[in-house]
Each structure stands twice: as structure tokens, then as C-alpha cells.
């Protein structure tokens, strides 16, 4: 749900523009950054099911990155890091904590909405949840696109950056949305889980760096 997570970061950035958009995008994608890193380290796993061509849904074992308890812990840690980073800005420390923490937790909430019941509350053997909106993919993509467009509108409405940078951020968002639609509808199965993890990390990191630079 790349597009939806970025949309949430864009919306949250409306609260205080002194918190860089790239920081919020990184926070909203932190759980996925951890997931794909943990997969490369062998701590979590992903499997491409036989029906991937019909449903485009991967199967994960991802309690360390995506369980509710883990999301709360990662949110608290990210909030603490943001407080230290922005402490020198008078009156911004605690606001940054709130914005970054909410951005991290928004990832879990959005994943809970679209995933089938495969997100553990605690460890991998614990009760798993998920509303399964991906079972109705057109509706899920409309929901995700709506989050991205709404977040982009909120960001651009009061953005204090040049028109060129606004246009660049808009183009990035449209490319992310197009990538999301293609990956969830017509894209073939990835050649390997390692390739999938590496390409996902590259996309996330490039997106964070570009949005952070353009929003300055």
C-alpha cells in the first residue's frame, strides 16, 4: 500500500511544515523498510502464493515489523528519535513526536484495512487481524488513491515551495499511484523474494529522499 502510506504522510505534514516531508514519508513507510530488511536478513519471510496472478497478494510472516505490538514499539522509538532531532527547534520537539509517531502507526492501520487476517497482534502465533479490503481490489485501489490525492491536496494547499517542486512532488505521487495499481493488478510474480525485497527497499528509500529534498 505504498501510495496510501505516502498519502498519510502528506496529510500529517499539514500539521507543521517544519517537520520535513521526507521524515514523515520515512516514518509512514518504516514498517515496510523494516520488513524488507528483515526478509533479507532472514528474520521474516514472504511467499508468492500459487494464486498470485489472480489476487496479487503476498503471504508474510512479519510479526517483528508488522504486528500491532511491534508497530507501537517502532512508533515510540521513531517518536523518541524525532524529539532528539527536532529538540533544538523551540516548541517543535513534542509536535514532531506526535506527527512521526502517528505516521508510523498509520501504516499499521492502513494495512489492517486492506490485508486479509494475517497481521498478528503480538507474535507470529498470536491472533491475526485484517479487514480484507484487497479482496475487492477496485474498491481498495480507489480507497488508496483517495488517501493519496487528499493528502497531496492538503500538502500543496499551503506548501511554501516553488511551483516546480510542487509539480515534481505531484509527479512522484502519480508515479507511485501508477506503480501501486500495476503491482496490484497486472504485474507478474516477482522472480525471487530477494529481488522483491531489494527493489522495494530502493523504491522506498528513493521516495523518502526525493520528497524530503523537494519539500525543503
How large is the average pLDDT for residues 44-50?
Answer: 93
How large is the average pLDDT for residues 66-70?
Answer: 98
- Chain centroid, CA 186 distance in Å: 21
The C-alpha cell at 161 is 515551495
What distance in Å separates the CA atoms of residue 72 and residue 107, rounded to the nearest whole number? 11
For residue 119, the SS3 value is strand
Q: Which pLDDT band, with edges at 50, 70 and 90, does 195 fall under?
A: very high
Which pLDDT does position 90 carry in this prediction?
66
The mean pLDDT of the chain is: 94
140-158 pLDDT, tens digit per residue, is: 999 999 999 999 999 998 8
Which pLDDT does position 114 carry in this prediction?
97
75-113 pLDDT, tens digit per residue, is: 999 999 999 888 777 678 889 999 999 999 999 999 999
Q: Which helix (H) or strand (E) holds 140?
A: helix 137-157
Which pLDDT does position 172 carry in this prediction?
96
Instruction: Name, in order, each residue with C-beta under 8 angstroms of 191's C-beta and a sequence gap of 6 or more.
Output: none
C-alpha distances in angstroms, 100 versus 93, 111, 120?
11, 17, 23
Which pLDDT does position 53 carry in this prediction?
87
Tell me the percentage of the chain whose pLDDT exceeds 90.
86
**Is it the case that residue 162 has pLDDT exceeding 90?**
yes
- Give the 3-state secondary structure percentages of the chain, helix then strand then coil, rounded to 5: 70, 5, 25
* Residue located via cell numbers 479487514: 131
Which pLDDT does position 138 carry in this prediction?
96
For residue 61, the SS3 value is strand
104, 78 contact by CB (below 8 A): yes
Which pLDDT does position 216 carry in this prediction?
85
**Is it the case that residue 54 has pLDDT exceeding 90?**
no
Amino acid at each position: 500500500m505504498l501510495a496510501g502510506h505516502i498519502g498519510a504522510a502528506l496529510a500529517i505534514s499539514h500539521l507543521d511544515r517544519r517537520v520535513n516531508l521526507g521524515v514523515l514519508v520515512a516514518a509512514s513507510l518504516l514498517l515496510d523498510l523494516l520488513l524488507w530488511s528483515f526478509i533479507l536478513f532472514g528474520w521474516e519471510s514472504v511467499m508468492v502464493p500459487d494464486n498470485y496472478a489472480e489476487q496479487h497478494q503476498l503471504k508474510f510472516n512479519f510479526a517483528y515489523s508488522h504486528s500491532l505490538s511491534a508497530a507501537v514499539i517502532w512508533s515510540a522509538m521513531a517518536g523518541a528519535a524525532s524529539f532528539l532531532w527536532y529538540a533544538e527547534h523551540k516548541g517543535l520537539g513534542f509536535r514532531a513526536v506526535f506527527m512521526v509517531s502517528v505516521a508510523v502507526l498509520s501504516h499499521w492501520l492502513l494495512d489492517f484495512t486492506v490485508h486479509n487476517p494475517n497481521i498478528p497482534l503480538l507474535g507470529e502465533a498470536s491472533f491475526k487481524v485484517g479487514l480484507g479490503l484487497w479482496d475487492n481490489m477496485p474498491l481498495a485501489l480507489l480507497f488508496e488513491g483517495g488517501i493519496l490525492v487528499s493528502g497531496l491536496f492538503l500538502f500543496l494547499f499551503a506548501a511554501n515551495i516553488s511551483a516546480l517542486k510542487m509539480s515534481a512532488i505531484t509527479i512522484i505521487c502519480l508515479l507511485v499511484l501508477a506503480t501501486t495499481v500495476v503491482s496490484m493488478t497486472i504485474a507478474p510474480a516477482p522472480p525471487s523474494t530477494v529481488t522483491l525485497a531489494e527493489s522495494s527497499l530502493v523504491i522506498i528509500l528513493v521516495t523518502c529522499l526525493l520528497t524530503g529534498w523537494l519539500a525543503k
